[in-house]
Amino acid sequence: MTPAGRRLAAAFAAIALILVASWIARRSIESDRRAGMARALTAADAPPGPQPALSLNVNGNRRIEVLPSTPLLFAVSLTNRSDQEVTIGGRLGSWASRVRLTQAETGAALSWSVAPLGRPETIVITANGGGAPGIDVETSGAAVVRSGRVSRMILAASPEAMAGARPGTYVMRAELEQGGLMPWGWRGHLVSAPVTIVVREADRTSNREALEGARSAMSTHYFLAADRPEDARRAALDWSQRDPKNPVPLMLLGDAVAALGRPRAALTIYRAALKVSPRSYEPPALLYDRIVKLSARK
């Protein structure tokens, strides 16, 4: 073969190799595309797995400023965005016993002792024949969570525990872990978004009066929930004196006085709360309920 012929044959061979490589590449891409579609269809057809989530707030907020001796009420909520039911807790311990509060940065325990306040509960939102949804409350050690159910508990640091709180900023989170030797059931580790607590020195803050009022308010709620009515009475009295146009501290003062076995005095306080209640289209049903119940006990 002449040199020119050899060059022409080499050129044809190179073109053939390019065409073969291109064909192989197209087949590979098409195969990968089909495999990807198959995986996507399989994932779409598969039922969604459970999606439990943990949330946390403290004194009703994600960030608070407090003075020492202000109680902290950590509300921990357990939800599930999926309809696939998850059970956490049971015979070997309630779901609440699996929850702990830690420092967000280090994972260390809190600087203050906390204890459950009240019993864990599950709020169930039910359909009501096309009308307004109904709400049921369950109290159980096991949290059965799915869409439409919220399990909730309160962990509290008492005023006494917070008396020695050092000024500073504390970032906390809630964690829940469930293991187990059995191959069935949900197992995992949940972590909430953090909350921030700023402890101020009373003599070095510009909003001391507001923080003292908040301390009286939270102390009232804490003492009532902890079944300490005399402490609740003192805290509610201080709160009502700081905020005389607010019916809520008077209503809770009446609750504390009623819990002390003084229904007539409580009725007088409830009626005083009615007088300072703002005019609105919605009647103060909570106050009316209390007055009716105490009046029936006469």
Strands 168-178 and 149-157: unpaired
pLDDT at 181: 58
Per-residue pLDDT of the chain (298 residues; tens, 9 = 90+): 454 444 434 444 444 444 434 444 444 445 445 544 444 434 344 456 778 899 999 999 999 999 999 999 999 999 888 888 888 887 767 888 899 999 999 999 888 999 999 888 888 877 766 666 778 888 877 888 888 889 899 999 999 999 999 999 999 999 998 876 555 567 889 999 999 999 999 888 889 999 999 999 999 999 999 999 999 999 999 999 999 999 999 999 999 999 999 999 999 999 999 998 887 645 577 787 888 888 777 5
Domains 52-203 and 206-296 share a fold: no
Whose structure tokens read 């009022």? 213
Q: What is the spatial distance between Cα 129 and Cα 61, in angstroms, rounded to a whole number? A: 34
Domain ranges of the chain: 1-46, 52-203, 206-296
pLDDT at 12: 43
pLDDT at 7: 43
The tokens describing 281, both together, are 């289209």
3-state secondary structure of 175: strand
pLDDT at 282: 54
Sequence-ordered list of residues with C-beta below 8 angstroms from that of 90, at least 6 positions apart, any chain:
141, 142
Fold of the domain spanning 52-203: Immunoglobulin-like (2.60.40)
Pick the CATH number of 206-296 from 3.30.420.40, 1.20.1250.20, 1.10.3470.10, 1.25.40.10: 1.25.40.10
DSSP assignments along 147-158, one per residue: TTEEEEEEEEE-
131 DSSP 8-state letter: S
Q: What is the spatial distance between Cα 75 and Cα 58, in angstroms, rounded to a whole number? A: 6
pLDDT at 145: 83
First to last CA, the chain: 125
Q: 70: closest CA among 214, 227, 239?
A: 214
CB 70 within 8 A of CB 210: no
pLDDT at 128: 65
* Cα radius of gyration (the chain): 31
3-state secondary structure of 143: strand
Strands 63-66 and 195-199: parallel
The tokens describing 278, both together, are 């703002």
CB 180 within 8 A of CB 204: no
CB 237 within 8 A of CB 269: no
H or E segment and range at residue 160: helix 159-162
